[in-house]
A and B are shown apart, each in its own frame.
Chain A
Amino acid sequence: MKYAGHGLALGALIGLLEFAYYYPLVPATGAASLLGSILLPWCGEGVLLGLTLAFFERRAAPRPLRPAELAAAVVIGVALGVLAWQSFLQFVLRAHFGLWLLRDHMGQPVDPASIMLYNAWLMLIFGGLAVALHGARQRHARMLATLRGAELEREASARRLAETRLAALQARIAPDFLFQTLARLETLYEADPPAADRLLEDLIAFLRRAVEER
């Protein structure tokens, strides 16, 4: 549905450009009638192109279409859209129901083959550009997602690093404390052996608890 909408918008854009071009050339015609006769073919062709692209993209999902595949999809979509829709317009609506189209307004002999060729070219140019834009936008979105992921991971690494550095700092305290206590023990054993004994017992008890907690 989204693709049909995009195709419709593209067809309408081309139709409006075409209208702006032909309106000064056929001033006698009513604007509304001319606009309708131009928009009708272009919008239909645009929708068919959009649907063809959607079909190809869905078939390739979840991976995005490769550039060559995308180009092939555009060519097929344009050919299919122009052939089918113009045939319907020329041979059903115009021939059987008397619908007026651009060439009728221009008072020129209608040659469906030349109209199809012209429409196919214009659709190919603008459709190709639009698809290039679509592809660039999708790539942009993918890259932004990649960037966000990479930044999140970097943040996580930075956090882990900070935590580990903190742990390293805390781990340093134990040997420092131990070293100071043992140095005191050395002198205390000379001065007051029973007190030194008690201190050593306390130290051993303390270390056992600390190690068991680890």
Chain B
Amino acid sequence: MLWRGGLIAAAVVVVLSTQFFFQAQLYDVWPWEDILGGWLDYLLDLAIVGACVLALAIGALQVRVRPPSSHLLFLGAIALGALGGEALLLLRAPLPPDVSAAGMLAAKAARWLAFGAIAYAAWVYHRRAAQAAREAHQSELQRVQLERQLTEARLQVLRAQIEPHFLFNTLANVHRLYQTERALGRAMLRDFVAYLRGALPQMRGEETTLGQELELARAYLGVLQVRMGERLRFRLDVPEEVRALPFPPLALSTLAENAVKHGLNPLPEGGSIEIAARLEGGQLKVEVADSGAGLRHSGGSGSGLANLRSRLAALYGEAGSLDIRANSPRGIRATIAVPARAAQP
């Protein structure tokens, strides 16, 4: 405060002192060293007044009162400081006897006050503008945060919605099977209830492990197997030690769903699905490989995969990825990679 105030006051004093050079008659009669000396003398005068104004102004800024009292206090301090400073100058160089000292002091203080008032007003507006800019920035940050939460909430809505066709087909199948093959119908209903039981926590966006996700995928594929029979074969190859690792909800089911819907369903002979998981360089890699129709035949918009990709990015950033490539001899191999020990948010 003292340093900055001093610098500003010094700059003001120097700027004001340039008035000395704006007197044309000087250059007609005075030699240059006298002009310089006169300027230094004038500069000293201004410095004395400036110091008085600065001292009182800094004092006024220390007083904690609310506007508009603080403004009045500051302006009063400038006027008082100028009055005091100019009075000191009168001691240095007395006025001619016929000039009223009070009038002269008032006039000079008024000039300082006008100058100070405009500068002060500009400074106040400048400060308020900076404050508003900070608040706007803050508000913008909060908005971005809200948008991120909004994305999360939208994902929750999506997760909570069960694929309607899966639901219909399954229930219609259960209904028909109970009329014809009761045991098969019972098995399908049991698998379906198991699937829903597993899916419910995930739909609520709660934390899950790879083990839970595998059970969910198994139940899902079990339901479909009743419907598709020999056209769907699947195998899970997941070591025990990775089952307890956290895993994003419904990610595996999305891949299993895709493998059936776009891979095996278009083929009359169906195919097989293999799910495998392994640890590799601190990363948990889970792979869903099918022997289905392959990349070229995967119709649909791929919005499920795009969703999954953005969810992985939201959860893990660069460390999470979804890789999709062709499987040999045919089909698709989709791999999800996530950090092996990442604590779920």
| Docked pose: A178 CA to B200 CA in angstroms | 11
User: Given A136-B122, A140-B129, A154-B139: A171 and B175 within 8 A (CB)?
Assistant: no
Let me know if A157 and B146 touch, CB within 8 A. Answer: yes
Residues of A within 8 A of B129 (CB): 136, 139-140, 142-143
Q: Within 8 Å of chain B (Cβ to Cβ): is A17?
A: yes
Q: Within 8 Å of chain A (Cβ to Cβ): is B10?
A: no
User: Given A133-B121, A189-B178: A114 and B25 within 8 A (CB)?
Assistant: yes
Of the residues B137, B147, B160, B178, contact of A172 by C-beta under 8 Å: B160
Of the residues A126, A160, A185, contact of B150 by C-beta under 8 Å: A160
Q: Within 8 Å of chain B (Cβ to Cβ): is A30?
A: no
Identify the stretch in B97-105, B300-308, B331-339 within 8 Å (CB) of chain A at 4 or more residues.
B97-105
Q: Within 8 Å of chain B (Cβ to Cβ): is A208?
A: yes
| Docked pose: A129 CA to B204 CA in angstroms | 62
Q: Within 8 Å of chain A (Cβ to Cβ): is B30?
A: no
Per-position binary interface string of chain A over residues 165-202, scored 1 when its CB falls under 8 Å from any chain B CB and 0 otherwise: 10110011011101100110110010001001100110
Residues of B within 8 A of A17 (CB): 107, 110-111, 114
Let me know if B118 and A161 touch, CB within 8 A. Answer: no
Residues of A within 8 A of B190 (CB): 186
Let me know if A147 and B103 touch, CB within 8 A. Answer: no
Residues of A within 8 A of B200 (CB): 175-176, 179
CB distance from B245 to the nearest CB of A (A): 26
Let me know if A20 and B150 touch, CB within 8 A. Answer: no
Q: Within 8 Å of chain B (Cβ to Cβ): is A80?
A: no
| Docked pose: A121 CA to B19 CA in angstroms | 6
* Most chain B beta-carbon contacts within 10 A, residue among A125, A133, A197, A207: A133
| Docked pose: A193 CA to B175 CA in angstroms | 11
| Docked pose: A165 CA to B150 CA in angstroms | 8
Of the residues A122, A132, A157, A201, contact of B143 by C-beta under 8 Å: A157
Residues of B within 8 A of A193 (CB): 178
Q: Within 8 Å of chain A (Cβ to Cβ): is B22?
A: yes
Of the residues A25, A129, A189, A197, contact of B186 by C-beta under 8 Å: A189
Chain A interface mostly:
helix
Q: Within 8 Å of chain A (Cβ to Cβ): is B154?
A: yes
CB distance from A7 to the nearest CB of B (A): 14
Residues of A within 8 A of B174 (CB): 200
Residues of B within 8 A of A59 (CB): none
| Docked pose: A68 CA to B133 CA in angstroms | 22
Let me know if A204 and B168 touch, CB within 8 A. Answer: yes
Residues of B within 8 A of A132 (CB): 118-119, 122
Let me know if B122 and A21 touch, CB within 8 A. Answer: no
Let me know if B193 and A164 touch, CB within 8 A. Answer: no
Q: How many A-B residue pairs have CB under 8 A?
A: 191
Residues of B within 8 A of A143 (CB): 128-130, 132-133, 136
Q: Within 8 Å of chain B (Cβ to Cβ): is A98?
A: no
User: Given A130-B118, A143-B133, A200-B175: A136 and B125 within 8 A (CB)?
Assistant: yes
| Docked pose: A126 CA to B99 CA in angstroms | 27
| Docked pose: A97 CA to B314 CA in angstroms | 83
CB distance from A176 to the nearest CB of B (A): 7
Let me know if A179 and B172 touch, CB within 8 A. Answer: no
User: Given A129-B115, A144-B132: A118 and B100 within 8 A (CB)?
Assistant: no
Let me know if B107 and A21 touch, CB within 8 A. Answer: yes
| Docked pose: A40 CA to B197 CA in angstroms | 91
Residues of A within 8 A of B149 (CB): 161
Residues of A within 8 A of B137 (CB): 150
Let me know if B115 and A125 touch, CB within 8 A. Answer: yes
Closest chain B residue to A113 by CB distance? B24
Please report which residues of chain B, range 190-245, place their CB below 8 angstroms from some CB of chain A when the two chains form the complex. Answer: 190, 192-193, 196-197, 199-200, 203-204
Please report which residues of chain B, range 148-178, place their CB below 8 angstroms from some CB of chain A when the two chains form the complex. Answer: 149-150, 153-154, 156-157, 160-162, 164, 167-168, 171-172, 174-175, 178
Q: Show 11 residue pairs from A and B whose CB-CB distance is below 8 angstroms, ordered by the A residue.
A: A17-B107, A118-B23, A126-B118, A136-B129, A137-B125, A140-B132, A150-B139, A168-B160, A175-B200, A182-B189, A200-B174
